[in-house]
């Protein structure tokens, strides 16, 4: 009755499901299997990869231009691949800590448009 070698309830791990990231500066490409399987990064896998890549190489892979939310008062900071979560993080941090948070887009090297999320200190 039971067949231990085949469990139809468990889908086989399909590496083709892992998203692919390319970096024209490194002239390489990677799939995100490691981020998905080992780090359980889920839908933040691309983000995780981009941040790791930047940490180790000093630049971001193609099609990733993270938004960086950096607190001006404490070491807190996060990077996001979209403005909305970055802004949300900044606002949440400002709300809870009464700290001002700088929001910057990593890809815009030239025209720096740093936004400052200020705490509602009245």
Interface residue with Zn ion among 15, 17, 22, 26 (CB under 5 A) is 26
The interface with Zn ion within residues 89-108 (CB under 5 A) comprises: 97, 99
Interface residue with Zn ion among 20, 74, 82, 116 (CB under 5 A) is 74
Residue 50 binds Zn ion (CB under 5 A): no
In the three-class reduction of DSSP (H, G, I as helix; E, B as strand; rest coil), residue 63 is classed as coil
Ranges assigned E (strand) in the chain: 20-23, 28-31, 67-71, 77-80, 101-105, 115-117
Residue 41 DSSP one-character state: -
Residue 91 DSSP one-character state: H
**Smallest distance, Å, CB 17 to Zn ion?**
23
Question: By the criterion CB under 5 A, which residues form the site for Zn ion?
Answer: 23, 25-26, 57, 71, 73-74, 76, 97, 99
């Amino acid at each position: 009755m039971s067949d231990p070698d085949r469990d139809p309830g468990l889908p086989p791990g399909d590496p083709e499901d892992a998203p692919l990231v390319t970096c024209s500066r490194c002239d390489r490409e990677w799939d995100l299997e490691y981020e998905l399987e080992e780090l359980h990064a889920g839908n933040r896998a691309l983000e995780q990869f981009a941040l790791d890549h930047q940490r180790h190489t000093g630049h971001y892979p193609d099609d990733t231009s993270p938004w960086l939310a950096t607190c001006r008062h404490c070491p807190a900071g996060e990077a996001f691949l979209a403005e909305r979560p970055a802004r949300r993080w900044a606002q949440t941090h400002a709300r809870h800590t009464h700290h001002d948070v700088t929001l910057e887009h990593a890809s815009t090297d030239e025209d720096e448009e740093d936004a400052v999320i200020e705490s509602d200190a009245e």
